[in-house]
Every structure is written in C-alpha cells, then in structure tokens.
Amino acid sequence: MQLQSINFAVMTMNKNTILGYATLIMVVMGLILIGLGIFKYNEVAGIGFATVGVGFLAIAWVFNSLKGRV
C-alpha cells in the first residue's frame, strides 16, 4: 500500500513543481556557499566559495525563469 502512495506522490509532481524544488535547493546551496566564503574561509579560498555560490544563484534564477516555459 505504501508503494502506491509513493507512486501517486511522484505522479502528481509536474515539470513546474520539479523546477520549483530545484530552484529552492539551488538557492539554499548558493547561500550556504556564499556564507562559507564570507564567514569560514577569509583567505583566497573564500573568494572561490563565494563565486561558486553566486553561480548557484544564477543557475537557480534560470531554473525559476524556465517554469511554465518547458
């Protein structure tokens, strides 16, 4: 019975829902990476962490703009 409920939950997620969850995960990871770059690594490595975090936010912005178009 539990397999049917899991299958039903997966069936109700459409493309926009999946892109929304992907956007949320990317934003959270981007903010975590920026936070690591600012607060934990104050030297050269921090610049890399912050740059990758900004890249994550940019990709999340693209995912958000694709909702409804794909």
Beta strands (DSSP E) in the chain are none
Phi, psi of 15 (to 5 degrees): -65, -40
- pLDDT value, residue 31: 94
Residue 62 placed within a domain: yes
Q: How many domains does the chain have?
A: 1
Residues sharing a CB contact under 8 Å with residue 64, sequence separation 6 or more, in sequence order: 19, 20, 23
Please write the tens of the pLDDT for every residue from 3-46.
666 666 566 888 888 888 999 999 999 999 999 998 888 888 88
Residue 18 placed within a domain: yes
Residue 36 placed within a domain: yes
Range of the domain at 51: 14-66
Residue 2 placed within a domain: no
Residue 9 placed within a domain: no
Residue 57 placed within a domain: yes
Q: Residues in the chain, how many?
A: 70
Q: Note the pTM of the prediction, 2 decimals.
A: 0.74
Taking 60 as the threshold, does the pLDDT of residue 1 lie above it?
A: no
Residue 34 placed within a domain: yes
- pLDDT value, residue 66: 85
Tokens (6 digits) for 17: 């829902």
Residue 50 placed within a domain: yes
pLDDT band at 56 (very low <50, low <70, confident <90, very high): very high
